[in-house]
Amino acid sequence: MPRLAGKIALITGAASGIGRATAELFASEGAQLVPSDLDEAGLQGLSGLARRLDVTSEADWAEAFAAARAAFGRVDILVNAAGIGEGSSIEETTLASWRRVMAVNAEGTFLGCREAVRAMKETGGGAIVNISSAAGLVGDPKLAAYCASKGAVRLLTKSVALHCARAGYNIRCNSVHPSFAETPMLTRMIARAANPEKVRAGLIRATPIGRLGSAGDIAAAILYLASDEAAFVTGAELAVDGGLTAA
Ligand SMILES: NC(=O)c1ccc[n+]([C@@H]2O[C@H](COP(=O)([O-])OP(=O)(O)OC[C@H]3O[C@@H](n4cnc5c(N)ncnc54)[C@H](O)[C@@H]3O)[C@@H](O)[C@H]2O)c1
């Protein structure tokens, strides 16, 4: 029996990296997809109701849920995987960069959770999985805005989980905290460094398990939290980081 048989899953950031791997894994586990991204062309090849969704746009969220409900009757799973990474220390971070990162990573996740709760409570419940980061659990001196945005996602998740549990909505909400997963986001970050090979080796050295993660490693954790196997799991934070934050 496929692990997501009969489920309708809306996934943001589905054009690339973790979102894309999640969409492919979910489809292989029987889910019907509403894959979405700012980069509409990047959604090619994914099954389902692909659509452009800018997670910072309140109107886009309302339209995406309305379209999903019109096509499938409900949304059972929301995965908030869209995100951007801009790295700088507190001294170097411009207000414009802070706002860009917060708008996509924190506000985008807030808008998605709000839309999902409003819709799912009318259709019997569901599961929300928010992609935070190891940088939402521990600080990184070079990621001031990114850490702040991912910390916000971590505690937003718990607030949503408690609200839904206490209200009896049958909606679970959990966060996943990847560390260095080899996706276009990480590859771009490494390529920007003065000595990319040295940076890559440093990231591997920093990871107790001795390798970088893959998008598939993260998607597997998202699948568990989205599935009914995690029926008693809500408000949890799952580090998928090769042991990085265990030390
Ligand atoms: N790769 C890592 O090492 C790593 C580590 C920790 C957390 N994360 C988080 O995982 C998530 C996925 O990252 P990834 O590594 O797959 O990155 P990625 O750059 O490969 O994919 C991110 C996707 O988000 C989309 N996106 C960006 N802004 C958007 C917006 N406003 N609306 C809709 N879509 C938008 C992009 O078009 C892209 O397709 C992000 O939230 C990221 O912060 C990644």
Which regions of the chain are under pLDDT 50? none
Residue ranges lining ligand 1, Cβ < 6 Å: 12-13, 15-19, 37-39, 42, 53-56, 81-85, 104, 108, 131, 133, 178-181, 183-186
pLDDT of residue 201: 98
pLDDT score of 147: 98
Q: What is the pLDDT of residue 119?
A: 98
Q: Which domains does the chain have, with CATH numbers?
A: 8-181+215-236 (3.40.50.720)
Distance CA 119, CA 108 (A): 17
Query: Model's pTM, two decimal places?
Result: 0.99
Active site positions, annotated = 146
Please name the residue whose Cα sits nearest to atom 17 of ligand 1. Answer: 185
pLDDT at site 87: 87
The closest-lying atom of ligand 1 relative to the alpha carbon of residue 15 is 39
| C-alpha of residue 170 to centroid of ligand 1, in Å | 28
Q: Which residue matches tokens 């019907």?
A: 32
Alpha carbons 241 and 221: distance in angstroms, whole number? 11
